Chain A
Amino acid sequence: MKKALIPFALFIIMAGFLFKGLFLNPREVPSPLVGKPAPAFSLPRLDQPAKTFSPKDMLGQVWLFNVWASWCGACRDEHPLLVALAKTGLVSVVGMDYKDTAAEAEQWLTERGNPYLLSAVDADGRVGIDYGVYGVPETYVIDKAGVIAYKQIGPVTLESLRDDILPLVKRLQAQ
């Protein structure tokens, strides 16, 4: 009788692991960039192509770096949240327009509102590779010293904003 229970117990343990697996997201690849300085770059601004933006311009403040594109469907979902966040003035959001055309990007922002302090233009996706971007939208929290504190892959949601991003921003701002 006892012996018959062993395979059953093994089955329960395995089922437990598999059940847990159902709720894991294989798309969430842990980024090696968290805890490292944000890679340096200098890219033209979307609104004023003659001027450039560089992450070191933001030194001394906590900011969000949001990679977006007008062709990206999930960006549409998160966009109203970013617009609402910008209105609260809690934290600056810098955008990076990833592999996009200026005309379409400008139109997208005109139609949906522009939550960004400014958007840098990464037309060929080179800077995207330095940031390990593989699924737009992606959002980074960068601290006062220019170190990446958090990376969100995929759209920002109300939950991730409320539970992870904003508490972290507050903590980093207090430092």
Chain B
Amino acid sequence: MIKKYLLGLVSILLLAFTLQGTANEAQPLQSDAAVEAQVQRLATQLRCLVCQNQTLADSHAELAQDLLQEVREMAAKGMSDQAIIDYLVARYGDFVRYKPPLNKTTSLLWLGPFALLFLGGIGLLVMLRRRQAMQAELPLTAAETRQINELLK
């Protein structure tokens, strides 16, 4: 009876070991969850240059797969997010970043809306001032005052 149990236990353990062995073999570079999390995080911040309006995470283009692989290998080497982004920017330019950085060529893009808001605000202020001035410039005549007083009685 005990012998039977032991045999069963040993075979279960053996099976577990073999299963573990195959499970390990099946994932070459993705063993580290932290690396994979970094790859996923970067994939949503990087542009696929073939499809242009998709991130690496969304794209199925071959180049996007190659770039993801490249990112994965860099992440596995322990490179920081910024180092990996810099590496790709050096090759593909700022366009590879989904969120454009603030620099000379993108200053209009970043500051334009605020400039428009500012100009609009000035325009509104000027208009309101003018309207106020117009209202102030219209004093009531003596006849009008009498008429109002008449009505208010």
Contacts from A to B (Cβ < 8 Å) = 26-27, 29-33, 99, 124-126, 128-132, 134-135
Contacts and interface: CB of A to CB of B under 8 A. Distances in A.
B89 interface: yes
B50 A134 contact: yes
Given A29-B49, A124-B66, A126-B70, 5 more contacts: A29-B92, A31-B92, A32-B94, A131-B91, A134-B49
A29 B93 contact: yes
A27 B66 CA distance: 19
Nearest to A124: B66
18 contacts: A29-B93, A29-B95, A30-B93, A30-B95, A31-B93, A32-B89, A32-B90, A32-B91, A125-B63, A129-B67, A129-B70, A129-B91, A130-B91, A132-B91, A132-B92, A134-B50, A134-B63, A135-B49
Given A26-B52, A134-B49, A129 B66 contact: yes
B103 to A, nearest CB: 12
B66 A132 contact: no
Nearest to A133: B63
Contacts of B95: 29-30
A26 B95 CA distance: 11
A60 B11 CA distance: 70
Interface residues of B, number: 15
B42 to A, nearest CB: 15
A31 to B, nearest CB: 6
A31 B89 CA distance: 10
Nearest to A30: B93
A119 to B, nearest CB: 20
B66 A33 contact: no
Give me the 8 closest cross-chain CB pairs, A-B, nearest first.
Answer: A134-B49, A132-B91, A32-B93, A29-B95, A132-B92, A125-B66, A134-B63, A134-B50
A27 B50 CA distance: 9
A33 B88 CA distance: 11
B91 A33 contact: yes
Interface in B56-106: 62-63, 66-67, 70, 89-95
Contacts of B50: 134-135
Interface centre among B62, B91, B93 (most CB of A within 10 A): B91
Interface centre among A32, A124, A131, A135 (most CB of B within 10 A): A32
Nearest to A27: B52
Contacts of B52: 26-27
Contacts of B94: 32
A132 B49 CA distance: 10
Interface in B14-51: 49-50
A131 B93 CA distance: 11
B63 to A, nearest CB: 6
B93 A132 contact: yes
B53 to A, nearest CB: 9
Nearest to A129: B70
